Structure 1
Amino acid sequence: MGGPGGLSRSGMSRRGFLSAAAFGAAGAATLGTGAPSAGARTRLRSQAPTNGLPSPDSITVTDPAFLDAVQAASLLQSGALHPRELLDACLTRSNEFDGEIGGWIRIYPEMAYEAADAAAQRLSQQSVSTNGPAPLVCGLPLALKDLFAVSGLPLTASSRVLEGNIAAGDSTVWRRLKDAGMVLLGHAHTDEFAIGVATEQVGNPWNTEYSPGGSSGGSAAVLAARFVPLATGTDTGGSLRLPASACGITSIKPTFGRCSVRGVIPLTWTRDHAGPMGRSVADAALMLGFMAGADPEDPSTAAGPAVPDGGYPLSAKGGPTPLSGKRFGVVRSDVDALPDATRTLFDEYLDLVRRLGGTTVDVKLPRLPSDITTGDSAEMGSYHNQFKDRLGLYRLGHAGSAALSIAALAVPAIDYMTAARNRLIYQHEYNRMLADHDLDAILVPGAKADGSKRSEVAGISVFSGVMGNVGWANYTGAPVISTPAGRSAATGMPFGVQVGGRPWDESTLIEIVLELQAARPDLLEAPTVAPAPRDIPRVQVTTPGAGPDPTNTANVGFGFHFLPTTSTAAI
């Protein structure tokens, strides 16, 4: 029903959707609604893929909606697939299957088809001959978490508090992706204002009684359900990693400051990370190369090294022991606390690491300072203070969190500054742990529980830490990849592993996970989703909000900006 084999749901064979793009629309079948006329299509070029993309001839997927991002990029770049056909497939699948999942809050078909046509022009032989190759993400559909501003479109943080709010400008991340030719399909639901870990209004595609995790649960759900190949998320307390683990997809929480958060509705300014989500690490790495970079409007982005020339690695090197010489720290206390079924999955993943040549050693993460959350509440309150007359509009459970954060504005300045210093000490201790054990990465369970019912986790804050050991990466700013490790024999739900490393060293982590995923591609399986039609709200671009902030809310932050460090010195 929702699987990738045989014919697509439109009845089109692989040959059908490939030849339709390569030779124009005259007489070609199309997928879904919004099919272009024969004169509307632009003939695409045909050439071999570059930069680690798979060969078009190696791709056997029959429904374009089931193409991974790197597969779709290869077909788009080679001329074997037209951006409109890919968009058709994603829209058709969303409309036919999102009824029980509810991952989308809004979609933008009119804007998306305009962007797909513009992408087709950039991918055409004529444009390539004149302007050079199009960016590798050109023509790929995208879901934005409902925190990322898009000028003239609604931005609501999945909350009644911002009902009717229209973004005043583009977030930096969206501007970068738009300039690279990506196609915005819609905004995906978030747990309200990214406060919680449930995204309770969204069902997990593997079993809709279960939570997709939060707060980027909508983004994870539309990826897992094969509604879209790429999505953005944010991570303040595991909000990229917990949904990735819950939905069986991959996320990269980059180093703090690697991706700008300008124009993103904040939770706490010094812990918020923007990052990519995909079905594989290659997918997420592909988009990270276009999301990342310095932004004068976000000073933290100027602290680290430049994005590697040509982007991040996209393919595994392979061989029998590609992880030979790599050392991995295993946070044993977290592993020992896992339920039996997910403990088995984690142990099997360690066996995979060792089979590929890696060495594992048990380690302890440094203890988080007791006052570490002091700044979190105050920072959250400094943003939500503007909505103190609308507390009754928050979701049940989050109104109290918002009220407590506003009350935290009374915290003495010295307490905030002391917590900031203790955080710096913690960063140094984390780096020293890596250095003392000569580690390339650490391995941490992606979640504490073996799946969570939606009703069980509603209203739980990302600051609580009850869903997984995730705060270490937000307080250090270190990069982490969440990668699938299989499905529980007890619940049938996905479970992931966090692979963490040193600040600014995303490339090493990506290289490691590429090898792990290449060795176990079965771990990247898609759920079988039952048909459940939904009339998803469709919105057109309108007059932008007054601003001045792109979010059209009071989002000024403050002068202090957290910067990750690689220092191991005692303080």
Structure 2
Amino acid sequence: MTTTAPHGAATAASAETSAGPSRRTVVGLGAALGVAVASTLRARPAAATTAELDRALRDLPAPARRDRLVDHEVVELAVLLRRGDVTAVQVLDAYLARIDALNGPFEVYGDNGGYNAFVRVDRTGARAAAEAADARFRAARTSGEVVPPLCGIPFGIKDSVGVEGREARNGTLAFAGNVALRDATVVARLREQGAVLLGHTIASAFSGSIAGTFAGNAWDPARVPGGSSQGSGVAPVARLCAAAIGEETGGSIIMPAAANGASAIKPSLGAASVAGVMPLSPGVDVVGPITRSVRDSVLVMNAIAGVDQSGDPLTLSAPMPFPEVPLSPRGGARPLAGLRIGVPQTDWMTAAPIGTPPQSTYGRDHADVWRRLVRQLRVMGATVTEFPGLDVTDPAQDPYFRSPDVLGVSDGTAVTALSAVVQSNRYEIRYWDAVRDFAATRPADQAAALLAQYGRVRPGTTERTWEAASALGGGITNAVRAEGERRRRRLQANYQDALDAADVDVMLVLPIGDHVGPRFGGGSQLPNYRRWFQLPNALGWPMVTFPVGLGRFTRLPVNAALWGPRFSEATIVQAAVDYQDRYPEHHRAAPPDPVFAPAPQARRAAAPEVVPPEYSNDPLVNAEADR
């Protein structure tokens, strides 16, 4: 029977030296799953696939005992639940105990004196779901009923994702009273699995910052957590939930995962539905899992991926069937043999001028980890080489992402290729009108805050209005929009040509090149990060990030990321799964529980996030700052 310290009293040292799964156990678990079923991302996981996964999980031996129940990965919990070694209610109680001890007060958009990873928790709904999961497991032990892999697994959901009957505030009191009429597609698919939805995790205000100040970093709460999916990046690593859902427009999954040492998949555009998610940039926004291991993230992607014909037509663009994305390692001495990994030298970092080789800018911990990582990948069989990549400062190579070319004028404002696509998509979904209609139902202070965020001042005037915002998007002609889309496709083709010319399959980068800085009190929040962190989103290409070490000088995590062409999840995820199978110590590392003041009280409840434009998740704001 697995036990747990009720209030998470175990230290990082005790967690690392406890009787966690041995390497043999971890390898055996992955191998058994691989033999039983090649887990895939497809239109929807077929019933047979779910049944095969369920049988594989039932047949596995119990993972080795750990000191804390909350240290088990999702796959391990799925095995324990099927064996009856632990109940879903016990798992829920273990996480709720840690939330009570470490999260701090809810609904605080600032420093709440704790981790502040969860902005609100639905105890009643979570307990009902856990009890239903236990009933399902009990029945299945006698009837043989198929139980989905995520049944009984506690999740956090980013506060921009709709959960029926619950508020989604998107990181701001301006959206108080924004109650979801129905579940977002991603939430509905988790419910179908029998997942336990703990509540909403805190987001940057309006999902607008890649740094974040509301939550505390899982390894050092005085430091920034990354954003905008702040709480979703913190909660799994801090052992406040087993897995979380993030949403990304520009860095919002990858940055918090990297800042906290989590594993995460930012899927290709169209791989999973964003219906029911509060949009920032339709046609760019994606949802994806943040967990401790890549294998767990794949298990979650199996549940949420696939066609949503009425809710998100972009899901119709995914290949059918979706290329297999296995959750099991390949094993052997050289599992990466034949994989050609390129390190793009034009993927410049912010700590040095454009043109400086990115690896030369890394802080000393990150530089040490980077050199070791490259050696490890080569030993595992991969070819790792530097190559030019695509220089987005060259207009001939990038006609879209950073291009200043004016394609037309709308309501007195110049329209670039990027704005032609982004603003047209926003207009098409009633982006401004929907917020205006909501604001009309709210108190004056809320309505004013929403107008300040979403309204626009026409050139030559001083008044900010909803009409001006909508007029900009609505005034972009079909011809200008089509030219913007053509240029976006040209950028995708140019980057693919750059990969092909260098004989590169996937790319390897560090999303963050030095340890993150303080939440408050001055100093750079992100001393060094990928200058073009929004480029994978503009391309619609996938990225997977995973921890590859802890710093020797500062005990904070270092994450790497693999990314490549659209719908190349199979290749990048397989490589990450293989790496974590060989080096599990990185994703299994647990931060020491911080000592917060008793009964923490909000210290900066009214402090708004100050977001420099270069930290903005909004592609148009970020692009303007870059110019």
The TM-score, its normalising length taken from structure 2, stands at: 0.72
Letter in 1 for 2:77: A
Change (3 A) 1:486 1:4: closer
Structure 2 unaligned residues grouped into runs of 5+: 1-8, 22-51, 105-113, 346-356, 393-397, 404-416, 458-463, 603-627
Aligned residue runs from structure 1 range 127-276, under 5 A? 127=140, 129-130=142-143, 132-276=145-289
Q: Is the contact made by 2:516 and 2:525 (CA closer than 8 Å) also made in structure 1?
A: no
The one of 593, 600, 613 equivalent to 1:529 is: 593
The whole-number CA distance in structure 2 between the counterparts of 1:179 and 1:486 is 36
Aligned-residue sequence identity (percent) comes to: 27
Given candidates 573, 592, 595, the residue that maps to 1:510 is 573
Is 1:423 aligned to 2:485, yes or no?
no
Q: What is the deviation of 1:132?
A: 2.6
Q: What SS does the corresponding residue of 1:242 show, helix, strand or coil?
A: helix
Contact 1:2/1:530 (CA < 8 Å) preserved in 2? Answer: no
Paired letter, 1:289: N
How far residue 384 of structure 1 moved from its aligned partner, in angstroms, is: 4.3
The CA deviation at 1:5 is 7.8
Q: Note the C-alpha offset of 1:98.
A: 1.5
Match of 2:90 in 1: 85
Q: Give the match's secondary structure for 1:143.
A: strand
Find 1:499's aligned residue among 562, 565, 575.
Answer: 562
More displaced stretch, 92-101 vs 144-153: 92-101
Which string of whole-angstrom CA distances, capped at 9 and with x for unpartnered residues, describes residues 455-495 of structure 1? 4899999xxx9665322211111111011122334443222
* Shift in Å, 1:378: 6.4
Q: Distance in 1 between matches of 2:447 and 2:514?
A: 27
Select 1:119's aligned residue among 133, 141, 145.
133
Kept after mapping to 2: 8 A contact 1:330/1:443:
yes
Partner Cα distance (2:425, 2:242) in 1: 33
Write out per-residue CA displacement over residues 551-571 of structure 1, whole angstroms, 9 at most, x where no aligned residue: xxxxxxxxxxxxxxxxxxxxx
Cα distance change, pair 321–145 in 1 and its aligned pair in 2 (3 A): same
Report the Cα distance in structure 2 between the residues aligned to 1:173 and 1:493, rounded to whole angstroms. Answer: 31
1:80 positional shift: 1.7
- Structure 1 gap ranges (5+): 8-12, 15-46, 538-571
What's 2:367 paired with?
343
Match of 2:119 in 1: 105
Q: Which amino acid letter does the alignment assign opposite residue 472 of structure 1? A: L
Equivalent residues of 1:445, 1:469 under 8 A apart: no
* 1:555 aligned residue: none
2:322, 2:57 → 1: CA distance? 14
Pairwise CA distance, 1:224:
1.2
Deviation at 1:128, TM superposition (A): 5.3
Give the 5 Å matches for 1:471-482: 471-482=534-545
AA aligned opposite 1:197: I
- Tell whether 2:385 aligns with 1:361: yes
SS in 2 for 1:58: coil
Shift of 1:153: 1.0
Deviations 1:258-300 (A, max 9, x none): 1100000011001101101100101111110001010012111
SS of equivalent residue, structure 2 residue 244:
strand
Instruction: Report what 2:24 is aligned to.
Output: none
CA contact (8 A) 2:518 2:524 kept: no
Q: How far 1:450 sits from its partner (Å)?
A: 2.6
| Cα distance change on mapping 1:352 and 1:243 into 2, 3 Å | same
CA distance in 2 between counterparts of 1:481 and 1:319 reads 22
- 1:33 alignment counterpart: none
Show the counterpart of 1:451.
516
Output the CA distance in 2 between the equivalents of 1:456 and 1:271.
Answer: 33
Asked if 1:383 corresponds to 2:442, the answer is no
Contact 2:432 2:454 in 1 (8 A): no
State yes or no: 1:76 paired with 2:81. yes
Q: Which moved more, 1:421-430 or 1:333-342?
A: 333-342
Question: How far apart are 1:395 and its partner, in Å?
Answer: 12
Post-superposition offset of 1:133: 2.0
Q: Distance in 1 between matches of 2:98 and 2:180?
A: 28
In the TM superposition, what whole-angstrom CA distance separates every residue of 1:340-360 from its partner, at most 9, and x where no partner exists?
332222222111111111001
Give the root-mean-square deviation of aligned CA atoms.
3.5
Classify the secondary structure of the residue corresponding to 2:62.
Answer: helix
Distance 1:322 1:308 in 2: 23
Q: Find the residue that maps to 2:235 and give its secondary structure.
A: helix
Residue 562 of structure 1 corresponds to none
1:413 partner SS: coil
Q: Deviations over 1:78-97 (max 9, x none)?
A: 22221001001010011111
The size of the alignment, in residue pairs, is: 495
